[in-house]
Amino acid sequence: MIALLAKGGVLMVPILFCSVLALGLIIEKLLYFRRAGSDTETLKREIALHLKNNRIKEATSVCKKNKGVIPQIFRVALENEAEAIGDLKWEEENDVETTRKAVSEEIQLNCIPHLEKHLNILDSLARGTPLLGLLGTVVGMIRLFGAISRTGLGEPDALAGGIGIALITTAAGLTVAIPAFFAHSYFTSQVDHFVLEIEKAVAWLLRQLEMRSLIAKSIQFKESGE
């Protein structure tokens, strides 16, 4: 293996570096997406139960205990509602629009950037590594034909061997680029999936908060009438 790398020339060094980097990024993203997932339906049921009983503090605690992107967004929304109310109880009408803006900022400034983190590097590796391999092959062919111009064709077997050595970098570049390309496509689809799930979950939570706001307003109206 080391002898093969040596035959490929100096450009095998950056290609090898790219392969290690690509492997590290793929493993890192796989672990991240595994941690980012959560049991959204169970989380919804627990939060809905707490909100129904005016226990926003407990609902926030549930989000803190659960790991993942959606629990994080729910936590931000509920903390924003608690801050607006002031005493963690549904005794006043809530400004749901303020919560909507806070959640939108959390998604755009925190969640999506974390989901997309390092994907541009992986894309660059998938695009750039074959070019490094091609450059190595071109350099090898230039050297080969330079040697032919000085010494003649010589043995055909030696000529074929020289061409084979020149193609090593192209093969190495493609070996790195192909997995990086498919990994990037997979992770991009995962980002799209998470964004869709986030949008659905946020829409559900905002409906819950709007409903609680209307109920709180109705209770206040009845109490003021009495």
Indicate if the pLDDT at residue 26 is higher than 70.
Answer: yes
How much is the average pLDDT of 40-60?
Answer: 86
Indicate if the pLDDT at residue 201 is higher than 80.
Answer: yes
Which carries the bigger pLDDT value, residue 216 or residue 45?
A: 45
Worst-scoring range by mean pLDDT, 56-70, 79-93, 201-215?
A: 79-93
How much is the average pLDDT of 173-190?
Answer: 96
Nearest to 215 by CA among 95, 98, 97, 93: 93
Indicate if the pLDDT at residue 59 is higher than 70.
Answer: yes
Q: How confident is the model at residue 15 (pLDDT cuts 50, 70, 90)?
A: very high
Mean of the per-residue pLDDT values of the chain: 82
- Residue 90 is predicted with a pLDDT of 44
- Residue 220 is predicted with a pLDDT of 52
- Residue 79 is predicted with a pLDDT of 86
pTM of the model: 0.80
- Residue 155 is predicted with a pLDDT of 59
Indicate if the pLDDT at residue 135 is higher than 50.
Answer: yes
Tokens 């799209």 map to which residue?
Answer: 192
| Whole-angstrom distance, CA of residue 95 vs CA of residue 100 | 9
Query: pLDDT tens digits for 81-113?
Result: 777 655 444 444 446 777 888 899 889 999 999
Which carries the bigger pLDDT value, residue 152 or residue 33?
A: 33
* Phi, psi of 56, deg, nearest 5: -70, -30
- Residue 129 is predicted with a pLDDT of 95
DSSP track, 6-71: HHH-TTHHHHHHHHHHHHHHHHHHHHHHHHH---HHHHHHHHHHHHHTT-HHHHHHHHHHS-SHHH
Which carries the bigger pLDDT value, residue 141 or residue 46?
A: 46
